[in-house]
Amino acid sequence: MVEHHDREGVATFFVPDEPFAAGISASLGEGVLHHVKVRRLGIGSPVALLDGQGHRAEGTLVRLSKTSATVEVERVITLPQLPPVHLLVPIADRDRMLWLAEKVAELGATSWRPVLYRRSRSVKPRGEGPTFTGKLRARMASALEQSGGAWLPAMYPEASLTRAVSALPDGVRLVLDAGGGPIMTQPLAPPVTIAIGPEGGLESDELDEFERAGFTRVALGGHTLRFETAAIAGLAIARGAVATVESARGD
Protein backbone atom coordinates (compact mmCIF):
# COMPACT_ATOMS: atom_id res chain seq x y z
CA MET A 1 0.00 0.00 0.00
CA VAL A 2 1.83 3.05 -1.26
CA GLU A 3 0.90 6.69 -1.34
CA HIS A 4 1.26 9.03 -4.30
CA HIS A 5 -0.41 12.19 -5.53
CA ASP A 6 -2.92 12.65 -8.28
CA ARG A 7 -2.99 15.56 -10.69
CA GLU A 8 -4.86 17.73 -8.17
CA GLY A 9 -2.28 17.19 -5.46
CA VAL A 10 -4.56 15.07 -3.26
CA ALA A 11 -2.87 12.25 -1.35
CA THR A 12 -4.06 8.99 -2.92
CA PHE A 13 -3.87 5.56 -1.30
CA PHE A 14 -4.53 2.01 -2.44
CA VAL A 15 -6.95 0.50 0.09
CA PRO A 16 -8.27 -2.79 -1.31
CA ASP A 17 -10.05 -4.16 1.76
CA GLU A 18 -12.52 -1.38 2.56
CA PRO A 19 -15.97 -1.06 0.93
CA PHE A 20 -16.46 2.41 -0.54
CA ALA A 21 -19.72 4.35 -0.19
CA ALA A 22 -20.55 7.99 0.45
CA GLY A 23 -21.10 8.67 4.13
CA ILE A 24 -19.08 5.75 5.51
CA SER A 25 -15.85 5.89 7.49
CA ALA A 26 -12.95 3.95 5.97
CA SER A 27 -10.14 2.70 8.19
CA LEU A 28 -6.63 2.82 6.79
CA GLY A 29 -4.33 -0.13 7.36
CA GLU A 30 -0.89 0.00 8.91
CA GLY A 31 0.90 0.34 5.58
CA VAL A 32 -1.22 3.32 4.56
CA LEU A 33 -1.02 4.83 8.05
CA HIS A 34 2.76 4.89 7.73
CA HIS A 35 2.54 6.99 4.57
CA VAL A 36 -0.05 9.30 6.13
CA LYS A 37 2.47 10.08 8.85
CA VAL A 38 5.38 10.43 6.43
CA ARG A 39 3.35 12.98 4.48
CA ARG A 40 2.45 14.74 7.74
CA LEU A 41 -1.20 14.75 6.84
CA GLY A 42 -3.50 16.07 9.53
CA ILE A 43 -7.14 16.12 10.44
CA GLY A 44 -9.05 17.79 7.64
CA SER A 45 -6.64 16.78 4.86
CA PRO A 46 -8.36 15.73 1.61
CA VAL A 47 -7.66 12.11 0.71
CA ALA A 48 -8.50 9.81 -2.22
CA LEU A 49 -8.72 6.03 -1.95
CA LEU A 50 -8.49 3.36 -4.68
CA ASP A 51 -9.66 -0.24 -4.42
CA GLY A 52 -8.25 -1.49 -7.74
CA GLN A 53 -11.77 -2.43 -8.92
CA GLY A 54 -12.63 0.84 -10.62
CA HIS A 55 -13.72 2.81 -7.56
CA ARG A 56 -12.17 6.06 -6.37
CA ALA A 57 -13.38 7.36 -3.03
CA GLU A 58 -12.80 10.99 -2.12
CA GLY A 59 -13.05 12.23 1.42
CA THR A 60 -11.42 13.84 4.43
CA LEU A 61 -9.09 12.54 7.11
CA VAL A 62 -11.18 12.79 10.30
CA ARG A 63 -9.29 10.70 12.83
CA LEU A 64 -5.58 10.07 13.32
CA SER A 65 -3.69 8.36 16.11
CA LYS A 66 -0.52 6.36 16.53
CA THR A 67 -2.30 3.17 15.57
CA SER A 68 -5.16 4.14 13.27
CA ALA A 69 -6.50 6.62 10.75
CA THR A 70 -10.02 7.12 9.46
CA VAL A 71 -11.29 8.80 6.32
CA GLU A 72 -14.87 10.01 6.01
CA VAL A 73 -15.90 9.25 2.43
CA GLU A 74 -17.85 12.03 0.74
CA ARG A 75 -18.27 10.65 -2.76
CA VAL A 76 -17.35 7.59 -4.81
CA ILE A 77 -16.56 7.67 -8.52
CA THR A 78 -16.69 4.52 -10.64
CA LEU A 79 -14.28 4.63 -13.57
CA PRO A 80 -14.84 2.38 -16.61
CA GLN A 81 -12.45 -0.47 -17.32
CA LEU A 82 -10.43 -0.34 -20.52
CA PRO A 83 -11.33 -2.82 -23.29
CA PRO A 84 -9.85 -6.23 -22.40
CA VAL A 85 -6.24 -7.05 -23.26
CA HIS A 86 -4.99 -10.15 -21.45
CA LEU A 87 -1.38 -11.25 -20.96
CA LEU A 88 0.28 -14.64 -20.65
CA VAL A 89 3.76 -13.95 -19.29
CA PRO A 90 6.64 -16.34 -18.63
CA ILE A 91 7.67 -17.36 -15.14
CA ALA A 92 11.10 -15.79 -15.21
CA ASP A 93 13.69 -13.85 -13.22
CA ARG A 94 12.02 -12.30 -10.17
CA ASP A 95 13.33 -8.75 -10.54
CA ARG A 96 12.45 -8.58 -14.21
CA MET A 97 8.95 -9.89 -13.56
CA LEU A 98 8.43 -7.27 -10.84
CA TRP A 99 9.54 -4.52 -13.20
CA LEU A 100 7.21 -5.83 -15.89
CA ALA A 101 4.30 -5.95 -13.44
CA GLU A 102 4.65 -2.21 -12.85
CA LYS A 103 4.63 -1.42 -16.55
CA VAL A 104 1.65 -3.58 -17.49
CA ALA A 105 -0.37 -1.99 -14.69
CA GLU A 106 0.52 1.45 -16.07
CA LEU A 107 -0.60 0.35 -19.54
CA GLY A 108 -3.87 -1.05 -18.26
CA ALA A 109 -3.50 -4.79 -18.80
CA THR A 110 -6.77 -6.54 -17.98
CA SER A 111 -5.21 -9.72 -16.64
CA TRP A 112 -1.86 -11.33 -15.90
CA ARG A 113 -1.16 -15.05 -15.84
CA PRO A 114 2.36 -16.49 -15.43
CA VAL A 115 3.07 -19.60 -17.50
CA LEU A 116 5.69 -22.23 -16.69
CA TYR A 117 7.28 -22.92 -20.06
CA ARG A 118 9.93 -25.57 -20.52
CA ARG A 119 12.73 -22.99 -20.53
CA SER A 120 11.28 -21.32 -17.42
CA ARG A 121 12.41 -24.29 -15.35
CA SER A 122 16.10 -23.43 -15.67
CA VAL A 123 15.68 -19.85 -14.39
CA LYS A 124 17.00 -19.06 -10.91
CA PRO A 125 15.73 -17.24 -8.94
CA ARG A 126 12.29 -17.66 -10.49
CA GLY A 127 9.38 -15.39 -9.69
CA GLU A 128 6.71 -17.76 -8.40
CA GLY A 129 4.76 -18.74 -5.30
CA PRO A 130 2.24 -16.95 -3.05
CA THR A 131 4.77 -14.61 -1.44
CA PHE A 132 6.03 -13.46 -4.81
CA THR A 133 2.47 -12.97 -6.03
CA GLY A 134 1.92 -10.57 -3.12
CA LYS A 135 4.98 -8.59 -4.20
CA LEU A 136 3.70 -8.45 -7.77
CA ARG A 137 0.36 -7.12 -6.58
CA ALA A 138 2.03 -4.43 -4.46
CA ARG A 139 4.11 -3.28 -7.43
CA MET A 140 1.00 -3.12 -9.59
CA ALA A 141 -0.86 -1.13 -6.95
CA SER A 142 1.94 1.42 -6.72
CA ALA A 143 2.02 1.79 -10.50
CA LEU A 144 -1.77 2.13 -10.58
CA GLU A 145 -1.64 5.13 -8.28
CA GLN A 146 1.14 6.79 -10.22
CA SER A 147 -0.56 6.30 -13.57
CA GLY A 148 -3.96 7.58 -12.50
CA GLY A 149 -5.62 4.24 -13.21
CA ALA A 150 -8.39 2.62 -11.22
CA TRP A 151 -8.28 -1.07 -12.20
CA LEU A 152 -5.62 -3.53 -11.13
CA PRO A 153 -4.93 -6.35 -13.60
CA ALA A 154 -6.68 -9.55 -12.55
CA MET A 155 -3.95 -11.87 -11.29
CA TYR A 156 -4.41 -15.54 -12.12
CA PRO A 157 -2.40 -18.43 -10.65
CA GLU A 158 0.73 -19.78 -12.26
CA ALA A 159 -0.14 -22.50 -14.74
CA SER A 160 1.14 -24.86 -17.36
CA LEU A 161 0.71 -23.77 -20.96
CA THR A 162 -2.18 -26.21 -21.47
CA ARG A 163 -4.06 -25.01 -18.41
CA ALA A 164 -3.44 -21.34 -19.16
CA VAL A 165 -4.75 -21.64 -22.72
CA SER A 166 -7.83 -23.61 -21.66
CA ALA A 167 -8.88 -20.84 -19.26
CA LEU A 168 -8.66 -17.99 -21.78
CA PRO A 169 -11.65 -15.98 -23.04
CA ASP A 170 -12.56 -16.00 -26.70
CA GLY A 171 -11.27 -13.28 -29.00
CA VAL A 172 -8.07 -12.35 -30.83
CA ARG A 173 -5.15 -14.52 -29.71
CA LEU A 174 -1.57 -13.58 -30.53
CA VAL A 175 1.73 -15.20 -29.58
CA LEU A 176 4.87 -13.13 -30.02
CA ASP A 177 7.36 -14.97 -32.23
CA ALA A 178 10.13 -13.63 -34.44
CA GLY A 179 8.97 -15.91 -37.25
CA GLY A 180 5.46 -14.49 -37.35
CA GLY A 181 3.97 -11.76 -39.49
CA PRO A 182 3.95 -8.09 -38.46
CA ILE A 183 1.68 -7.50 -35.49
CA MET A 184 0.13 -4.41 -37.09
CA THR A 185 -1.35 -6.49 -39.90
CA GLN A 186 -3.61 -8.28 -37.41
CA PRO A 187 -7.13 -7.12 -36.54
CA LEU A 188 -6.91 -6.07 -32.91
CA ALA A 189 -10.52 -5.72 -31.84
CA PRO A 190 -11.09 -6.59 -28.16
CA PRO A 191 -10.85 -8.90 -26.41
CA VAL A 192 -7.17 -9.55 -27.19
CA THR A 193 -4.81 -12.06 -25.57
CA ILE A 194 -1.05 -11.69 -26.01
CA ALA A 195 1.28 -14.55 -25.08
CA ILE A 196 4.96 -13.85 -24.40
CA GLY A 197 7.46 -16.68 -24.31
CA PRO A 198 10.42 -17.18 -21.96
CA GLU A 199 13.99 -16.02 -22.35
CA GLY A 200 15.46 -18.08 -25.16
CA GLY A 201 12.12 -18.44 -26.90
CA LEU A 202 9.34 -20.98 -27.10
CA GLU A 203 9.98 -24.60 -28.01
CA SER A 204 8.49 -25.73 -31.33
CA ASP A 205 5.88 -27.93 -29.64
CA GLU A 206 4.82 -25.02 -27.43
CA LEU A 207 4.31 -22.86 -30.51
CA ASP A 208 2.32 -25.70 -32.08
CA GLU A 209 0.11 -25.87 -28.98
CA PHE A 210 -0.55 -22.13 -29.20
CA GLU A 211 -1.54 -22.45 -32.85
CA ARG A 212 -3.90 -25.34 -32.11
CA ALA A 213 -5.55 -23.07 -29.54
CA GLY A 214 -6.20 -20.41 -32.17
CA PHE A 215 -3.18 -18.18 -31.62
CA THR A 216 -1.53 -16.35 -34.52
CA ARG A 217 2.23 -15.88 -34.51
CA VAL A 218 3.13 -12.19 -34.72
CA ALA A 219 6.46 -10.36 -34.70
CA LEU A 220 7.29 -6.93 -33.34
CA GLY A 221 10.10 -6.45 -35.87
CA GLY A 222 13.63 -5.26 -35.27
CA HIS A 223 15.96 -7.07 -32.91
CA THR A 224 15.31 -10.01 -30.64
CA LEU A 225 13.70 -8.58 -27.51
CA ARG A 226 13.90 -9.60 -23.88
CA PHE A 227 10.59 -10.97 -22.64
CA GLU A 228 9.73 -7.87 -20.59
CA THR A 229 10.47 -5.54 -23.51
CA ALA A 230 8.38 -7.68 -25.85
CA ALA A 231 5.48 -7.73 -23.38
CA ILE A 232 5.45 -3.96 -22.98
CA ALA A 233 5.73 -3.34 -26.71
CA GLY A 234 3.00 -5.84 -27.55
CA LEU A 235 0.66 -4.49 -24.88
CA ALA A 236 1.23 -0.88 -25.91
CA ILE A 237 0.52 -1.68 -29.57
CA ALA A 238 -2.63 -3.61 -28.65
CA ARG A 239 -3.83 -0.84 -26.33
CA GLY A 240 -3.43 1.75 -29.07
CA ALA A 241 -5.10 -0.41 -31.71
CA VAL A 242 -8.00 -1.38 -29.46
CA ALA A 243 -8.57 2.27 -28.51
CA THR A 244 -8.75 3.15 -32.21
CA VAL A 245 -11.31 0.38 -32.85
CA GLU A 246 -13.43 1.46 -29.88
CA SER A 247 -13.32 5.09 -30.98
CA ALA A 248 -14.44 4.15 -34.48
CA ARG A 249 -17.34 2.14 -33.04
CA GLY A 250 -18.35 5.17 -30.97
CA ASP A 251 -18.47 7.33 -34.10
- The CATH number assigned to the domain holding 64 equals 2.40.240.20
Q: What's the rounded mean pLDDT across residues 164-184?
A: 91
**How distant, in Å, are the alpha carbons of 56, 147, 242 from that of 247?**
25, 22, 9
Q: What's the rounded mean pLDDT across residues 79-105?
A: 95
Both 237 and 124 in one domain: the answer is yes
Close Cβ partners of 206 (under 8 Å, ≥ 6 residues apart): 117, 118, 161, 197
Both 100 and 126 in one domain: the answer is yes
Last residue in a domain, options 78, 113, 128: 78
Both 107 and 141 in one domain: the answer is yes
Contact 33, 68 (CB under 8 A): yes
Both 58 and 168 in one domain: the answer is no
Both 113 and 164 in one domain: the answer is yes
Tell me: pLDDT of 74 over 90: yes
Last residue in a domain, options 52, 78, 104: 78
Tell me: pLDDT of 6 over 70: no
For residues 190 and 88, the model is more confident at 88
Both 72 and 93 in one domain: the answer is no
Both 63 and 170 in one domain: the answer is no
For the whole model, what pTM was predicted? 0.85
Last residue in a domain, options 44, 78, 112: 78
> pLDDT > 70: what percent of the chain?
94
**How distant, in Å, are the alpha carbons of 36, 151, 152, 175 from that of 148?**
19, 10, 11, 29
Q: Which of 32-46, 93-107, 172-186 has the lowest mean pLDDT?
A: 32-46
Mean pLDDT of the residues in the chain: 88
CATH label of the domain that carries residue 227: 3.40.1280.10
Q: How confident is the model at residue 133 (pLDDT cuts 50, 70, 90)?
A: very high
Both 102 and 183 in one domain: the answer is yes
Both 66 and 156 in one domain: the answer is no
From CA 74, how far away is CA 35, in angstroms rounded?
A: 21
- pLDDT tens column, 235-247: 999 988 887 766 6
Close Cβ partners of 91 (under 8 Å, ≥ 6 residues apart): 97, 114, 115, 116, 117, 120, 123, 126, 127, 128, 158, 198
Q: What's the rounded mean pLDDT across residues 208-222?
A: 92
Domain count, the chain: 2
Contact 73, 83 (CB under 8 A): no
Q: Which of 21-30, 105-114, 152-161 has the lowest mean pLDDT?
A: 21-30
CA nearest to 17, candidates 55, 47, 44, 45:
55
Domain of 231, in residue numbers: 85-250
Q: What's the rounded mean pLDDT across residues 46-71?
A: 88
Both 97 and 55 in one domain: the answer is no
CA nearest to 164, candidates 193, 135, 186, 144:
193
Both 190 and 244 in one domain: the answer is yes
Contact 29, 17 (CB under 8 A): yes
Both 10 and 92 in one domain: the answer is no
Contact 20, 57 (CB under 8 A): yes
Tell me: pLDDT of 201 over 80: yes
